[in-house]
Copies of this chain bind each other. A is one copy, B any other.
Amino acid sequence: MFQGHDIACDRGERRIFSGLDFQIAPGQALVLRGPNGCGKTSLLRMAATLLKTAAGQLTWDGADIAEDPEEHRARLHYVAHQDAVKSALTVRENIATWSKIRGSADARIDTAMAAFGIAHLADTPAQYLSAGQHRRAALARLIASPATLWLLDEPTVSLDADGTACLQQAIMDHRADKGMVMAATHIELGLDDVEILQLKPQ
């Protein structure tokens, strides 16, 4: 169970939001919505321990995540706008690097590429990918090494219908597997049974 209690967020010495509560149980998905600049990305970065909360606390099964950030980090994936795909490496190498760092099995790399329909691009340098292919390569990381909590910042950007379907399938499998998902988006993700957290600009 991942929970937020009375969270507030400051960016550039300005209060972006405050008094925010949420909770995600295993198998659940929370979708963040709200206009541009309302703090969705900021909230995700807090959940990833990349940003400090200005007030309130984030807990995992009751324990404050700020107490042992390393442990919390090991159980999450954060897919951001900057997608950490190195243009000099091929698609496979890109995915392999991250799964090696996370110490997960190499066998999953092929599964991951297949899950996002980029198996045929395995040996293409990322430099030569189209925008959607690039994004798929970034998302494939989710499958290549397991993590309980997925934090997704506008994950469907640049994806075509097929790519979006791949992502939906991945999220469904993940949830069936007791995973949790927290996603920020402006367009319909096409997931069923999700909770929506509407952020309001202050």
Contact = CB atoms under 8 A, between A and B. Distances in A.
Contacts of A41: 130-131
Interface string A124-158: 00001111110010000000000000000110011
A34 B153 CA distance: 24
Interface residues of A, number: 26
B187 A128 contact: no
Interface stretch (A63-71, A84-92, A101-109, A160-168): A160-168
Q: How many copies does the complex hold?
A: 2
A15 interface: no
Interface string A158-178: 111111000000000000000
Contacts of A133: 36-37
A128 B11 contact: yes
Contacts of A153: 131
B130 A36 contact: yes
A102 B151 CA distance: 41
B160 A158 contact: no
Interface of A: 11-12, 34-37, 41, 81, 128-133, 136, 153-154, 157-163, 186-187
Given A36-B162, A37-B129, A157-B157, 8 more contacts: A11-B128, A35-B163, A36-B132, A36-B158, A36-B159, A132-B186, A158-B186, A187-B187
